[in-house]
């Protein structure tokens, strides 16, 4: 991966931090559908599975699709990090052999929450970002010592939030797609900047940051370097696509890509 050196770094310094294969034995994951192994957002294989295989880790899985950081600030029917995922974590693991990772934020800022004004009144991206950073403090007080946070991805380039979006399973009512795209760009970039600033306040030995935004941007800008399916790279149409008619009860038109062609699709 040609840009790998900017992906994992120490928050308080510029040098890259590489984790050796024998450094950690356990990987404990918190977050949403980006990390949920049992119900990943794209119905494929989630990244912790590959991480465990390549790193020789034992997985402890708490991420849940649809999760937010805390239901006290952004409502969700899915198990949140603070009210469900953290309380479910009781394993006593050697802190020197365990890496804790969090990838959260998509459902905090998305439709049915901050983007559409349905978060708890007064809640902003400042609150959701502080909540995510608070995850480090909560686990640290419980004995954890090694953390890796993921920045938010460029959600404005997803099917749901792009300027060229269409009625889809997540939202098939009328909307101003350009307005959504601009607002989401601001939310994600503001949240990522706040997260980096807040993490710098913590001890220098604490969390690393995986720059998911830069990684996804590089993949979207250079798809042929990452996608190796049997058809031309596609960064706009998901493997499982359903197009609805806005404000209609008519069934959607759905298509599914199968076989080796799947590896040509980003979403």
| pLDDT, position 42 | 64
| pLDDT, position 59 | 94
Lowest-confidence segment of 2-11, 105-114, 115-124, 125-134 by average pLDDT:
2-11
Q: Summarize pLDDT for 3-54 with one digit per residue, the tens.
A: 333 333 333 333 334 444 458 899 999 999 999 998 876 667 889 999 999 9
Q: In this structure, are strands 208-210 and 147-150 parallel, antiparallel, or unpaired?
A: parallel
| pLDDT, position 89 | 84
Average pLDDT over residues 59-79: 93
4-227 CATH fold: Rossmann fold (3.40.50)
Check: CB of residue 79 under 8 Å from CB of residue 64. Answer: yes
The CA distance from 15 to 95, in Å, is 24
pLDDT-derived band at 99 (thresholds 50, 70, 90) equals very high
| pLDDT, position 43 | 67
DSSP assignment letter at 167: -
| pLDDT, position 165 | 97
Is it the case that residue 267 has pLDDT exceeding 70?
yes
Residue of 76, 102, 77, 78 lying closest to 89 (CA atoms): 102
How many beta carbons lie within 10 A of that of residue 74, not counting itself?
Answer: 24
| pLDDT, position 20 | 44
Please provide the average confidence, as pLDDT, over all residues in the chain.
88
CB-based contacts of 128-131 (< 8 A; 24+ apart in sequence): 128/68, 128/69, 128/73, 128/74, 128/191, 129/105, 129/191, 129/194, 129/195, 129/198, 130/194, 130/198, 131/69, 131/70, 131/73, 131/81, 131/82
Q: Summarize pLDDT for 207-238 with one digit per residue, the tens.
A: 789 999 999 999 999 999 999 999 999 999 99
Q: Summarize pLDDT for 172-211 with one digit per residue, the tens.
A: 999 999 999 999 999 999 999 999 999 988 877 677 899 9
The CA distance from 149 to 11, in Å, is 10
Q: Domain extents for the chain? A: 4-227
Both structure tokens of 151: 């920045």
Q: Summarize pLDDT for 236-258 with one digit per residue, the tens.
A: 999 999 999 998 889 999 999 99
């Amino acid at each position: 991966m040609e840009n790998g050196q900017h992906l994992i770094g120490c928050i308080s310094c510029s040098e890259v931090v590489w984790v050796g294969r024998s450094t950690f034995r356990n990987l404990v994951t918190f977050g949403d559908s980006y990390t949920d192994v049992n119900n990943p957002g794209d119905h494929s294989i989630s990244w912790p599975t590959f991480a465990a295989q390549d790193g020789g880790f034992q997985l402890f899985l708490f991420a849940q699709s649809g999760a937010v950081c805390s239901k006290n600030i952004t409502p969700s029917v899915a198990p949140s990090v603070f009210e469900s995922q953290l309380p479910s974590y009781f394993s006593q693991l050697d802190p020197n052999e365990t890496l804790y990772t969090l990838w959260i934020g998509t459902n905090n800022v998305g439709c049915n929450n901050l983007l559409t004004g349905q978060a708890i009144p007064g809640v902003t991206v400042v609150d959701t970002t502080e909540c995510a950073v608070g995850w480090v403090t909560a686990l640290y007080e419980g004995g954890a010592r090694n953390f890796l946070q993921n920045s938010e991805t460029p959600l404005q380039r997803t099917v749901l939030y792009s300027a060229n979006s269409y009625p889809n399973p997540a939202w098939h009512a009328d909307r101003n797609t350009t307005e959504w795209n601009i607002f989401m760009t601001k939310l994600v970039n503001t949240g990522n900047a706040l997260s980096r600033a807040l993490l710098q306040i913590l001890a220098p030995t604490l969390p690393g940051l995986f720059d998911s935004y830069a990684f996804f941007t590089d993949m979207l800008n250079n798809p042929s370097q990452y996608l190796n399916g049997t058809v031309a790279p596609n960064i706009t149409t998901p493997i499982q696509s359903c197009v609805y008619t806005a404000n209609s009860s008519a069934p959607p038109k759905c298509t599914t890509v199968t076989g080796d062609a799947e590896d040509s699709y980003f979403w």
